[in-house]
Structures are given as C-alpha cells and as structure tokens.
Chain A
C-alpha cells in the first residue's frame, strides 16, 4: 500500500521530466559513441599503425564502450521511469476521482484512506439523525469482534456510499503500492558506483538490469511496442516514431527490436549489435556451470569477431538470442532491404547456436552471397536459425519441430518482403536436410511462403510435399540438389525399414564417422533405392530429386562413397558440401545462379528415375 498523501501529492511530471532528461543523456551518449567510432577510431585504424596508434585505439575503444554503457543504462532508467509514471498515473486518476466525489458529498477523507461521513437519514423517535462515522476500504462488513462503528447500521444512507469510496481508494493505493514494489527492484539495480570501470562483469550487470526493467515494465512495453501486430503494422509503427523515440527503444529493448519481423534490416542489425555484448556477458556468467551457455558463447564470440572484421561481403545480424538451442539470423552481401536478390537458408539436423554454426554454417551463407554477387552484386544471402532444429535422431524422425518452425519462417519472410524498399525483391528460399522439411511445411501454410520466387531443396530426406507444383512458386522455380553419394537423400521410407535402420543412418549424421556405415543399414538403403526408380518415397515423402516430384535437378559433385562389402555405398561427406564452392563447385555455383535470378547459368542434371542410366541403382551396380 502506498500512503494516501504520497499518491495524492505525487508530481508525475517530475517522473516524466526526469525520464526526459535521461533520454537526452542516452541520446547524447549514443551520438558520442558513434562519433568516437566514425571520426576517431576508424580514421585512426585506417591511417596509422604502430604501438602508439594501437594504444590509442585501445583507449578509444574503451571510451566507446563507456559511452555504450551510458547510452544503454540511461535508456533503461528512462524506460523504467516512463513505465512507472504511466502505471502510477492510472492509480492516481482513480484516487483523484474518488477524492472529488467525496468532496462533493461532503465526506472527509483521512490520510489513512478512511472516509468520514456525516449524520443523515430518517430521524429516530428522539429526533436525532442516524449518526455519521468513518469506514475504511475492504474492512469486514460484519466484524466478528463486534466493534462499534464497523457494524453496518443500515440507517445512514451515507454509509454505503462512503464504503464504496473507501473501497475504491483502498484499491488505488494498493495498486500503486504493487507498482511501486514492482519498479523498486529495477530502479535499485540501475544504480552504478562512483568510478565504475567497465569490464565483462559490468555487461553482465547490464544484462541483469535489462531483464529487471523488462520484467517491471512488461505491461508498459506491450503498450509501447506492437509485438502482436503483423510485420506491416510494425513497420508502420516504427516509421511513425521520431528519431529520439527510436534511439530510446533501441537502447532499452535491443533484443525485442532486433528480432522483430517488420523492423528494417539495418535497424535490426544495429539493435542486435548493441545487444550482442549484453548477451555475451549474460552467457559468460552462466558458462562455468552450463554447457549450452558455453556453446552459445563460443558462437557469439565468433559472430562478434566476424561482425567487426570488416570482411567483404558485409554482414548483417538480423536476429540473435539464447532461447531454446539458440537463435541467429545472419545476412551477407547487400542490405537485404535494398538487394534485388535475397535468399534465406534453413539448415537442418544438429544445427544450433554453437561454434560450428558460427564458423561453417555462416561460411555457407557467405559463400552463397559471394557466388551470387559475382553474377549480380545486388544480392544478399541469409542463414536463418530461427527454430529449434532436431539435435538427435529421435526428434529428426518427427515432423513436429518443422511444423512448429514453419509459421516462424513465414513471419520472417513476410518481414523481409515488408521492409524491402522496392517492395518486390527476387526471393529464394533454400532448405538443407531437415531444413527442407521446414521449407516444405511452410509452403503448405495459407499464402505459402511470403515473397518466395524460387525454392531450392538440397540434401533433402523429403519435404512432406509430393509435388513441386504444390509449393506455391511457378513451374520451373523449384530446384533440387542431390549428390549421388549423399546418404540422406536415400533415407528409407518410414515404415518400410525398421526404426533401428533409420536411426542408424540418422545417428551417423549426429556425428558418427563416415566409414562406420553398418552393413545392415547400408544393405537396407541399397535394397531400397534400387527397387523402385521413378517413384521413390523417402522418409518424408517423394524424393525431391525424383522425376515424379517435378523439380529441376541441378548438377552437383557426386561426393565420396564409402566402401561396403559388395561395392560402394553413399556416405555423409556429400551431405554437407552443397554450399561449398571448393568441395562442391557445381552445386555452389548453381545455388548462386538461382539466388542471383540467372537460371540460365544453372547446369542441369537428369532427375533420378528419369533414365535407367542415371538411376542411382545403375551407378552403384557398376
């Protein structure tokens, strides 16, 4: 409970003016940070070398970090004060109305919230009116101890009105008290010590501060940021904000803005770059006891290194987070909002936010961007880790993770199209391995995949859709890459083979050595794919590389095969190389050509089952 005089005499303008002040400080720190970078650090790095220059750069980087800290913390203070003022205002309004009513009725309101009412009603035989009294909110109507004054006489009509007012006042004070408590912790946390020196611990504190502020001001945030609107509504909202409001939101909610579909890519990138040190510090604090935090930390450090390395093509961080198996959406090439060609790749089993993702999977997107930009510089390539991919063969055998991921993917794609400045980029969606099932599931949602012009399926175990024409892109725009020795593209049909065999194959994907293809598994696969060329069913439906599926199959290196008792069988080596211009130049160049909207540059392969000579069974029998 807040004391009545405190709420009554509260000057909300003091809070909002203070919030304004912090917002201005935050904005100036932000501008200062940018100036240190662009006017001091960058020219220094570019023009000077040697010990003195290195030392100066280090000091300037520290200054820049200090400004970043001031910027973020001030924005958090601003957020918390604004939220507090907004929520207290509603309680205060209720109280003011009650006080006005009391005054009009001739009641008195005591500082403890009690409402005094005068004598009124029908005089008794002695000629005196039913006497007045004092009531307090939420007091028992029938006091078991029978104190006089708490007992309703029923004779004085003022009494009921006074009780109603007292209840209202009590609720307002109680609510204000709860709001006060809710914000108190957040504000306490935001205190910094004199002479603070920034280190990784400070950033961990910022992460804690941010979490506290977000929890305290959740309701205020929801009324401020339209997270429940579709991407178009969010973009309209964002574009309608003034620069000051944008800066403030970026500082206070970088994680929300950075991951919000419908926010321009450059803004998401800026938000996520600002959020990254905070998230890294949060994970650093958890890492000693948490293996997943360690993995994610390694990934984020590598991403951070890449972001600042200045490599070409440039990089955009369109999303990052530690929920589930971790989230990261990274673009290479031109800004996806201005590029003529944009591709989004969904990866499959075993993908999570770890060092392998930050090194190998990001390199895949980098390679696609580099390849496409040889053909058309106005191209961007995105790798989308926006879902929890299966991490073992129990989950990879179920389409449920793909079904859950599908609407998240379509929302992201919707955002991309919404924020694109020309409005109609050439969009390619690429699904690798289990990621192709996510793409398949997304293509079956109402409206298909927003903006998609071309769909590429590589290393696919089936996509849950049996015909290319059902994917929602025009004929001739569904492409498939299937290396002849990619074992995943021969996964046995569900039910046709025992779970142990499927599990065996998938288990290998989970990290088993290539040479360890068990005889039984290999035999099962071999038996399966030589049996029925022309209509091969894989684990998740028709093989997209089969002629019956109706996609255009592009050329890919065969990849290596593994020795087997009676010859050679497909292996895993070929499964992971589709994007790699060194290991599988044909596939990488073909993907680049499709992404760059130059289908003429594609080298075409005969689909499986179209010709006996090209049927995999025939090849293997050699």
Chain B
C-alpha cells in the first residue's frame, strides 16, 4: 500500500495521529460554549490508527441537532466532504482531502462520539494524544457516561446567553 501520493515525504503513523488530534482540537474549538470531553482509547492497526473523543457534557435532546449542525458547518468550511449520513441524522461521516475520515455518532444517552481515522501511513510507534481532555480523563474506561452539566447544552431552553444556534 502506498501511504500517500505526491511528492510529500511519507507520513508516519505518529504524524498521522497528531494530524488527527489537530482536526479534533479544531472541531472542539469551533463548538461554543465549549464541551467537556475525554479521550477514548484508540486501536492502532498495522498502518492506520484512530483518535476518539467522547463528549462528557450532558446534551439535552433538543440541543443535539444544533450541535451536529455546528460540527457539519465547521467540517464543510474546512473543505471536508460528506461521505454518508445515517437514516436518523444522528451519525455523519466526512473525509478530508488528504484521506482522514471523520465521524460523529450520537450514542447511548445522546452522547456524541467523535473519531478521526487516519489514512495508511508509514508504520511507527503511536504515542497517546498530548491535548489534555476538557474535564475528567476517562481514557481507559469503556464508555464514559456523560455527567458534566452545562447551563446551555444540558437544558432544553437557552437558559444562558452565549449559545450558538445553527440556522
């Protein structure tokens, strides 16, 4: 398998993982008010790896649509392409021009899960992400339940100002 086309020097799995972290950092930075989230364990393959984050802020059902909309706006603005969207609109898949796959899937108790899967890269050791989580670190837990209250995201009505709604 050729890691990447073009004249660029081939990327290592570690570099790919760092780029995945950067994509996720930018995604969370685009969401206001900020969400609490934790890393989840990733599973490196032989040439690809992934980075996973689970939102630990409690998201009210009424806020989910707005949140997904923000994510979609940000990813589209970055030039990423929508690959697929689920029948209930609660799972979406994007791909970057350089072959990173992005997904946001709403799981149990309305918990959004983000994942970036790298394209094949030069095999290398892959270290853990360096970005500190926003909120408690549940890295080695199986599925950390959302338990962080936010005056905007956790309540159906906009009880505080500063919330961004997607039109």
| Pick from A373, A376, A580, A602: contact of B86, CB under 8 Å | A602
B:102-129 near A, CB below 8 Å:
103, 105, 107-108, 111, 113, 115, 117
Measured between beta carbons, the chain A residues less than 8 angstroms from B141 are 312
The A/B interface has a contact count, at CB < 8 Å, of 75
Distance of A367 Cα from B88 Cα, bound (Å)? 23
**Most B CB within 10 A of own CB, among A367, A601, A602:** A601
A582/B48 contact (C-beta < 8 A), A375-B107, A589-B103 known: yes
**Pairwise interchain contact B93-A586, C-beta atoms closer than 8 A:** yes
Closest B residue, CB atoms, query A560: B1
**Pairwise interchain contact A373-B91, C-beta atoms closer than 8 A:** no
**Pairwise interchain contact B85-A603, C-beta atoms closer than 8 A:** yes
Q: How far is the CB of A314 from chain B (nearest CB, A)?
A: 9
Measured between beta carbons, the chain A residues less than 8 angstroms from B105 are 374-375, 589, 601
Measured between beta carbons, the chain B residues less than 8 angstroms from A580 are 45
Q: How far is the CB of B88 from chain A (nearest CB, A)?
A: 3
**Pairwise interchain contact B88-A601, C-beta atoms closer than 8 A:** yes
- A576-595 CB contact bits vs B (8 Å, 1 = yes)? 00001111011001000100
**Chain B, interface size: which category?**
20 to 34
Measured between beta carbons, the chain B residues less than 8 angstroms from A373 are 108, 142-143
Q: How far is the CB of B124 from chain A (nearest CB, A)?
A: 15
| Pick from A312, A367, A560, A593: contact of B91, CB under 8 Å | A593
| Pick from B85, B87, B91: contact of A589, CB under 8 Å | B91
Measured between beta carbons, the chain B residues less than 8 angstroms from A599 are 87
| Pick from A585, A593, A604: contact of B117, CB under 8 Å | A585
**Pairwise interchain contact B107-A374, C-beta atoms closer than 8 A:** yes
Say yes or no: is B49 at the interface (Cβ < 8 Å to chain A): yes
Closest B residue, CB atoms, query A379: B108
Distance of A312 Cα from B113 Cα, bound (Å)? 18
Say yes or no: is B57 at the interface (Cβ < 8 Å to chain A): no
Q: How far is the CB of B126 from chain A (nearest CB, A)?
A: 12
Distance of A171 Cα from B73 Cα, bound (Å)? 90
Measured between beta carbons, the chain B residues less than 8 angstroms from A504 are none
A:526-574 near B, CB below 8 Å:
555, 560
Say yes or no: is B72 at the interface (Cβ < 8 Å to chain A): no
Say yes or no: is A313 at the interface (Cβ < 8 Å to chain B): yes
Say yes or no: is A377 at the interface (Cβ < 8 Å to chain B): yes
Q: How far is the CB of A515 from chain B (nearest CB, A)?
A: 11
Q: How far is the CB of A315 from chain B (nearest CB, A)?
A: 12
Closest A residue, CB atoms, query B88: A600
Closest B residue, CB atoms, query A314: B142
Q: How far is the CB of B131 from chain A (nearest CB, A)?
A: 20
Say yes or no: is B164 at the interface (Cβ < 8 Å to chain A): no
Distance of A582 Cα from B120 Cα, bound (Å)? 10
Say yes or no: is B14 at the interface (Cβ < 8 Å to chain A): no
Measured between beta carbons, the chain A residues less than 8 angstroms from B50 are 581-582, 585
Distance of A216 Cα from B113 Cα, bound (Å)? 57
Distance of A581 Cα from B44 Cα, bound (Å)? 10
Distance of A586 Cα from B95 Cα, bound (Å)? 12
A581/B117 contact (C-beta < 8 A), A374-B107, A589-B105, A603-B84 known: yes
Distance of A601 Cα from B43 Cα, bound (Å)? 22
Distance of A149 Cα from B25 Cα, bound (Å)? 107
Measured between beta carbons, the chain B residues less than 8 angstroms from A603 are 84-87, 91, 93
A:104-135 near B, CB below 8 Å:
none
Measured between beta carbons, the chain B residues less than 8 angstroms from A601 are 86-88, 90-91, 105
Distance of A54 Cα from B90 Cα, bound (Å)? 48
**Pairwise interchain contact B87-A604, C-beta atoms closer than 8 A:** yes
A585/B101 contact (C-beta < 8 A), A580-B45, A600-B87 known: yes
| Pick from A312, A555, A586: contact of B142, CB under 8 Å | A312
**Most A CB within 10 A of own CB, among B1, B113, B115, B143:** B143
Distance of A377 Cα from B141 Cα, bound (Å)? 13
Distance of A598 Cα from B105 Cα, bound (Å)? 12
**Pairwise interchain contact B84-A555, C-beta atoms closer than 8 A:** yes
A313/B90 contact (C-beta < 8 A), A583-B45, A585-B115 known: no
Say yes or no: is B83 at the interface (Cβ < 8 Å to chain A): yes
**Pairwise interchain contact A585-B143, C-beta atoms closer than 8 A:** no
A376/B108 contact (C-beta < 8 A), A581-B43, A582-B50 known: yes
Distance of A601 Cα from B104 Cα, bound (Å)? 11
Distance of A345 Cα from B88 Cα, bound (Å)? 26
Distance of A593 Cα from B93 Cα, bound (Å)? 14
Can you report 28 residue pairs joining A to B where beta carbons are below 8 Å apart?
A: A312-B140, A312-B142, A374-B105, A374-B111, A374-B113, A374-B143, A375-B107, A377-B108, A555-B84, A560-B1, A582-B44, A582-B48, A582-B49, A582-B50, A582-B117, A583-B45, A583-B48, A585-B101, A586-B84, A589-B91, A593-B91, A598-B88, A601-B88, A601-B90, A603-B86, A603-B87, A603-B91, A603-B93
Residues of A bordering B, CB below 8 Å: 312-313, 367, 370, 373-377, 555, 560, 580-583, 585-586, 589, 593, 598-604
Knowing that A374-B113, A585-B115, A603-B85 touch, tell me 10 more A-B residue pairs with CB under 8 angstroms: A373-B108, A560-B1, A581-B50, A582-B48, A589-B91, A589-B93, A593-B86, A599-B87, A601-B86, A603-B93
